[in-house]
Structure 1
Amino acid sequence: MPKLSIVVPCYNEQEALPLFYPAVEEVVQRVDGLKTEYWLVDDGSADQTLAEMRKLHSIDPERVHYLTFSRNFGKESALYAGLEAATGDYVVVMDADLQDPPSFLPQMYSILQEGEYDCVGTRRTDRKGEAKIKSFLSDQFYKVINRVSQTNIVPGARDFRMMTRQMVDAILSMKEYSRFSKGIFSWVGFRTKYLEYKNVERVAGTTDWSTWKLFKYAMDGIADFSQAPLSLAVWLGTTSFIISIIGLIFVVIRRLIEPTSSAFGWASMVCIILLLGGLQLLCIGIVGKYIGRIYMQVKNRPIYIIKEKK
């Protein structure tokens, strides 16, 4: 009998977990010939999320498992830990807030059973209920990253997806410290079918993904899957150099034509110095961003540290 592992990264989800488990159970119990297991990953929550996980484990110790980190390592680390712990022939990643509709699980499983696809993902067709600025920045991110990266990332794609064991093993083989799962899911390849749905609001609790956190996450994704920022630094440096040469030639010619002319003045000189200095700092910062990622990777620190596992 095939087994489905349900991986649920959690951070401060004490209100959502008691609602999540029965909602998913109601759906998966209707799928004939399928064993299930849960892997709830506590990403160093500050509330009673771990206590709720322990309660669910005590209710069904054979199928409900949990692990908790020694501190907050981030959702990407929690997702990776859950995939490593999962033992199923199929693995689905879901959020605990029920924004990922459990009703899709039977359809996902049925599609994978046909053998044509290795992954069934989901994408939102709208972002109703979210702040307009967050929706705008999200749309712009997908446009930018698909222009600068060779790895195509489907706009509106969610982490909510069901994968075969082969695809999960391929994802786990990527041991990089800085992880951007949306890009990794696409980079490993495998045939993926996307199911579309309208945005669903959280069933309980509040999101910890602020606009600033999402912006930093987007920048990490661009740095992980594109060298375009490095190319931008090269072009900025080249452009500023050419402009400086043209300016120098202009000053020399003007001096030859009008020997009595004075310099442009200290204000223009300061502006030029600030312009060139700013470009240099920008380029150094971009290069430093990539060097920093290399530095974190070569230190070979663990992606996460487990404090408790059941």
Structure 2
Amino acid sequence: MASPKLSVIIPVHNESANIAPLCERLLPVLNRITSMWEVIFVDDGSRDDTLERIRAVSRTEPRIGAVSFSRNFGKETAIAAGLDHARGEAVVIMDADLQHPPEMIETFVERWKEGYDMVYGQRTDRSDETRVKRGFAHLFYRLFARFGEIELPPGAGDFRLIDRKGVEVLRALGEKARFSKGLYAWIGFKDTGVPFVVEERRFGTTKWSFRKLFRFAFDGIAAFSTAPLRVWTYLGFVISFMSIATAIYFMVRTLLFGTDLPGFPSLIVSVMFFSGIQLMSLGIIGEYVGRIFAEVKRRPLYVVAERIGGAAEVSTSLVSDDFRYRRA
């Protein structure tokens, strides 16, 4: 197949009901832009018939392909796999639930032709989220702006277009704990945002629980900052200063007024407080050590079980042939 002008990467996990509605809206948009396009679904270990529905669509439209993982590796890894297999001069990343309107791709391409290497969708409204979720999102972006190495554009997510040179840089980043939003900003290049309104999810439910979002936020801060480690250094200095000041206070008090009977409650509270501080600091250190451990093992980022359509012709994956399993 000739190299396409535009590639669209769509990570999917148990999204069988959304495949047909997405293609009905996406394909007319792509045909208006260019006839040389490809769509690559990355099946992240779906347990429903998502892959079968993609296979059925691929039979009628050969420009639609898929990469299927051997198990669930996570959305960030699915995006990396899509970038490995995309061949277009520009690559669009979007979700399958139609919350990212396919019609926006035309605007992305227009901005790309104007000379921008990265065009990202900028969310303008969060009224569909709970107040708690909006509050935590605001807190995360403030913490990342304060302690992170880079600045994240407000409201920017994975819905974006990336020029081929940016794709090649992202492919060269083989780190295991991936925070794609940070990687997009880290590679630089000329970028611009396009405001859009997130549509309602048509079918299925979100895969992002509060626990997963919290973990994802921590991974993002840990991947682009050593501030969580430095915090315990500063806290250690503060506690040491307070202990010296307290020792001087009791020494002066003893010299002037004599000694009194020490209380067990204050002793127990102090022991529990400092034990908690120590355990939290060890936990933070353990998180960073765990990331080092994951990197030095040099396991493949993902394992491909099957390729469908145009994706089957691509042999540039980061996974070696020894880790691939292909069905007949």
**TM-score normalised by length of structure 2:** 0.90
- SS of the residue corresponding to residue 15 of structure 1 reads helix
Q: Is the 8 A contact 1:41 1:82 kept in 2?
A: yes
Identity %: 40
Report the alpha carbon displacement of residue 184 of structure 1 after superposing the two structures with TM: 0.2
Report the alpha carbon displacement of residue 20 of structure 1 after superposing the two structures with TM: 0.6
The within-5 A match list for 1:113-152 is 113-115=113-115, 117-152=116-151
Q: Is residue 277 from structure 1 mapped to residue 275 from structure 2 by the alignment? A: yes
Query: How many aligned positions are there?
Result: 306
The answer for the alignment partner of 1:39 in structure 2 is 40
The within-5 A match list for 1:82-101 is 82-101=82-101
Q: Is residue 10 from structure 1 mapped to residue 9 from structure 2 by the alignment? A: no
Q: Is the 8 A contact 2:4 2:87 kept in 1?
A: no
Q: Distance in 1 between matches of 2:200 and 2:237?
A: 48
Q: Distance in 1 between matches of 2:153 and 2:166?
A: 18
Report the alpha carbon displacement of residue 210 of structure 1 after superposing the two structures with TM: 1.3
Report the alpha carbon displacement of residue 34 of structure 1 after superposing the two structures with TM: 4.6
Q: Distance in 1 between matches of 2:127 and 2:260?
A: 61
Q: Is the 8 A contact 1:4 1:34 kept in 2?
A: no
Q: Distance in 1 between matches of 2:282 and 2:214?
A: 21
For the aligned residue pairs, the C-alpha RMSD in angstroms reads 1.3
The answer for the alignment partner of 1:248 in structure 2 is 247
The answer for the alignment partner of 1:49 in structure 2 is 50
CA-to-aligned-CA distance 1:161-200 (integer Å, 9 cap, x gap): 0111000001111100000000000000011110011221
Q: Distance in 2 between matches of 1:240 and 1:278?
A: 13
Q: Is the 8 A contact 1:128 1:199 kept in 2?
A: no
- SS of the residue corresponding to residue 16 of structure 1 reads helix
Q: Is the 8 A contact 1:90 1:165 kept in 2?
A: yes
Q: Distance in 2 between matches of 1:235 and 1:201?
A: 45
The answer for the alignment partner of 2:165 in structure 1 is 166
Q: Distance in 2 between matches of 1:249 and 1:108?
A: 65
Q: Is residue 184 from structure 1 mapped to residue 183 from structure 2 by the alignment? A: yes
The answer for the alignment partner of 1:106 in structure 2 is 106
The answer for the alignment partner of 1:81 in structure 2 is 81
Which blocks of at least 5 consecutive residues in structure 2 are unaligned? 309-328
Q: Is the 8 A contact 2:4 2:38 kept in 1?
A: no
The answer for the alignment partner of 1:235 in structure 2 is 234
- SS of the residue corresponding to residue 58 of structure 2 reads helix
Report the alpha carbon displacement of residue 129 of structure 1 after superposing the two structures with TM: 2.0
CA-to-aligned-CA distance 1:216-245 (integer Å, 9 cap, x gap): 100110110111111111111111111111
CA-to-aligned-CA distance 1:116-146 (integer Å, 9 cap, x gap): x101101111113222222221121111111
Q: Distance in 1 between matches of 2:200 and 2:234?
A: 43
Report the alpha carbon displacement of residue 2 of structure 1 after superposing the two structures with TM: 5.7
Q: Is the 8 A contact 1:91 1:163 kept in 2?
A: yes
Q: Is the 8 A contact 2:101 2:198 kept in 1?
A: no
Q: Distance in 2 between matches of 1:173 and 1:155?
A: 26
Which blocks of at least 5 consecutive residues in structure 1 are unaligned? none
Amino acid corresponding to residue 178 of structure 2 in structure 1: R
**TM-score normalised by length of structure 1:** 0.95
Q: Distance in 2 between matches of 1:119 and 1:257?
A: 71
- SS of the residue corresponding to residue 30 of structure 1 reads helix
Q: Is the 8 A contact 2:152 2:182 kept in 1?
A: yes
